[in-house]
Amino acid sequence: MGPMDEKLGVGKHMIPVLIVGAGPYGLSLANYMSAMGQEFKIIGKPMELWKEHTFSDASLRSEMATSEIAHPQNAYSIQNFRSQNGLDRGKPSDRINVREYRQYVDWVLGAIPYEIQPEYLANLSQLDDYFEAKMESGETLQAKQVVIATGVAHHLKVPAEFSSAKDVIHSYYTQEIEALQGKKVLVVGAGQSAAEAMEICRKNENQVHWYARKEPRFYSEPLDLPKWIFNLVVKSAGLFRRLPHRLIQYLFSIFSATTMTPDHKIKLADVNRFSSLPDLSAYDHVISATGYNYTLNHMNFLADELRDSLEMKAAMPRIDKNFMSSMRDLYFIGPSTEMFFGPPMKFMIGSQYVAPRLSKLLAR
């Protein structure tokens, strides 16, 4: 092969399916593809959010059964993990803490029969009838179909009103927050991440103030819904786009409510809370526990021409009932698709809907 052939990619292996992202969504899809004997490649830092961007002392808000990495034979259930490690199996409705969840994740990553290329995609472009993926290492891959499962990392929301602060840390950077000691800290937000950030900062002897415009709401689960309604909403994800607009709005109002677990009502009772923005110059750090904003423009690893050519709905590419964007063979899954498949996509449980369906479509 000559240098010109190399430039043109002649002779390179065409990957049938490239999964970009190795979080719960990417891995669940990979498990289904692998069990079907389909060729694919998966890239991304394995379970990055769960291993590096959650507070070590926190607990998951979802139950065990809704936090598992999906597999067609349910091989990676948390109960299996527990019994193989000599632990009490517990009940599917139990909640586990982040430390144990990380051990579960390592157990899954040790058991999967395929490799994950642990790096980021730097640039994805479309060439004729295939995609070219340039990795951060400079390696180039060619793929026929691409699934974007990049989760939350590119979408951190930090309101402009904190621009005058000395230092702003988004709650995604949990390790930076865990390292703060003896500082004056303002935590912003009314959700679980704000609650956990305040708890850890206080434990590490920081002076903590809290800014939340709204009164916090306390629920034990991410969603205060009877289980049968929750399961119905997950199972009907495919019908979501056909629901009447008012019902969609109602579902979002329940699923998107910002809440914290009731234990924080007591734990945070004596924290000084402001409902309007205090003087930021008084703080060493502002912790912005202000959530995520899903926008295609944040996905800067997609080439400009590719982004410009996608049909949009609000700020995200429109996807059809098969998770495919307006560009043939380019798919999006995970939290950024909740507008199309409903609020369960914001949680790990949504992957149990996506993986079996999309794996079949990709294998066709």
| Footprint on this chain of ligand FAD (rule: CB under 6 A) | 20-26, 43-45, 48-49, 54, 60-62, 67, 120-121, 149-154, 193, 301, 334-335, 346-349
In angstroms, the CA 271 to CA 40 distance is 50
What minimum distance in Å lies between the beta carbon of 23 and ligand FAD?
2
Which lies closer to ligand FAD via its Cβ, residue 130 or residue 173? 173
Q: Closest distance between ligand FAD and the C-beta of residue 333, in Å? A: 7
What minimum distance in Å lies between the beta carbon of 149 and ligand FAD? Answer: 5
Tokens linked to 312: 């949009």
In the complex with ligand FAD, the residue whose CB is nearer, 172 or 211, is 172
Phi, psi for 316 (deg, rounded to 5): -120, 155
Give least dist CB 80 to ligand FAD, A: 19
Least distance in angstroms from the C-beta of 281 to ligand FAD:
28
**Residue 45 or 307 with smaller CB distance to ligand FAD:** 45
Q: Tell me the closest approach of the beta carbon of residue 169 to ligand FAD, in angstroms.
A: 14
Bridge partners, 117 (sequence order): 43
Q: Which is nearer to ligand FAD, 276 or 331 (CB)?
A: 331
Q: Least Å distance between CB 180 and ligand FAD?
A: 17
Residue 44 or 317 having the CB closest to ligand FAD: 44
Secondary structure (DSSP) of 166-219: S-EEETT-HHHHHT--S-EEEEE-SSHHHHHHHHHHHHTT-EEEEE-SSPPEE-
The residue (of 277 and 359) whose beta carbon lies closer to ligand FAD is 359
What single-letter amino acid sits at 150? T
CA distances for 340 relative to 152, 205, 215, angstroms: 17, 44, 30
Which residues are CB-contacts of 59 (< 8 A; sequence separation ≥ 6)?
95, 96, 97, 98
The DSSP secondary-structure symbol of 214 reads S
Q: How far is the CB of 282 from ligand FAD (least distance, A)?
A: 27
Q: Give 168's strand partners.
A: 286
- Give CA–CA dist 226/218, Å, rounded: 16
Compute the 3-state secondary structure of the chain and give helix, strand, coil in percent, each to the nearest 5.
Answer: 35, 20, 45
Radius of gyration of the chain (CA): 21
Using CA atoms, how far apart are residues 298 and 157, in angstroms rounded to an integer? 11
Token match 């507070």: residue?
55
Nearer to ligand FAD, 168 or 260 (CB): 260
Tell the residue number behind the tokens 């110059």, with chain if given. 281
* CB of 167 vs ligand FAD, minimal distance in Å: 20
3-state secondary structure 57-84: CCECCCCHHHCCCCCCCCCCCHHHHHHH
Nearer to ligand FAD by C-beta: 49 or 254?
49
CB of 274 to ligand FAD, least distance (A): 23
Task: Give first-to-last CA distance, the chain, whole Å.
Answer: 32
Nearer to ligand FAD among residue 6 and residue 136 (C-beta): 136
- Write out the two tokens for 5: 């052939």
How far CA 354 is from CA of 132, 140, 238, 310, 330, in Å, comes to 25, 28, 10, 21, 15
The DSSP output letter for 211 is E
Q: Which is nearer to ligand FAD, 95 or 184 (CB)?
A: 95
